[in-house]
Structure 1
Amino acid sequence: MLIAGHETTATGLAWAFERLLRLPEALERLPDHEPYLDAVVKEVLRVRPVVYEAARLLDAPLRLGEYEIPAGWYAGPYIPLVHRDPDVFDAPEEFRPERFLDGRQSRAWMPFGGGRRFCVGAQLALLEMRVIIREVLHRLELAAPDQAPEARRLKNVTLAPAKLTRVIARARTPARTA
């Protein structure tokens, strides 16, 4: 369980830096704007979910439109598709952390699954992501070696950045006092 939690959180962080380094307007508002930082983390997990499904073993038949999936089969939502539903998320292809600033959150936001099997480590993962992003941005100046968005690749059970989010990192120089 610990390895799964670290792998997924690390992948979420890779996506966070991949997105932020290509969207300077979002990066400029960080790291000291705590509500915006929380919104950025949630939006990263919406546009670049780390896991692609939350499969469940059906103990009863499931009717989906004209189809019926029998009991004993696995069924699960394809999370990247759910997160791009324009009926739920306005302009779903755009990276807009502001959509999470009003405190409301759609049940369709499901990077940690949902229902009774919601990931027990979700709150820890969100906290880790906020703390690490804040601390990295306080200590380092980051740049992307290539401004093109990274493609996804399947790595074990996660959707990871194809190039693993390569960055150019330089130590921030301390501000001088007069």
Structure 2
Amino acid sequence: MPDTNSCRAVDVAEEYADNRTVHVQLKAAHASAQAVCRRVTTANNYPGPCAACAAAEVSGADFQHGFDRCIYGSVVATCASTDHRSRIPAPEFAAARSLANRQQATLLRDIFGNPFRPVAFAPEWRTGTAVILAAQMYESRTFDAMPILADALQDAGCDNEDILNHCRSLGPHVRGCWVVDLVLGKG
């Protein structure tokens, strides 16, 4: 992202989702990110303004609109050519939108799992090792230890194939991963 205010808006939105900050701080971060968005959008559609505007939107109160703008921003950023002032041809935009939609669907599956196959998480699977691994991944936003988490859960008696397969999959895994959230008691 082109500006620290944009990064801060995303961080505050995450903190707000985790109940670690208050609405007043979210509104302040949103206002700062909006100012960046207004300043950089005069340069036309290219990845910097799209990222700045997506950050402003995701920290706003209208989450559905913010989600739509984030998708749009990722499409434009995907399509942006080296000549940032050129318009994106319709076929390239459609292809990039399709790619962005698939990527968004992959991220949503990581966050929500399969809504048609809810998973019951047994409390005895929430061992000290599993919680420490999950907390480290959550805070660092690095999910390389997901296969190790699968082993820890399996050692604790977890035999749920959806959980174990998800942990051992290539991902991508992101903050908010449904398995990590279950281990941390967030889900």
TM-score normalised to structure 2 length: 0.24
Q: Specify which structure has the higher proportion of strand.
A: 1
Of the two structures, which has the highest relative contact order with CA contacts closer than 8 Å and spacing of 6 or more?
1
Point out the structure with max Rg over C-alpha.
Answer: 2
For normalisation by structure 1, the TM-score amounts to: 0.25
Larger helix percent: 2
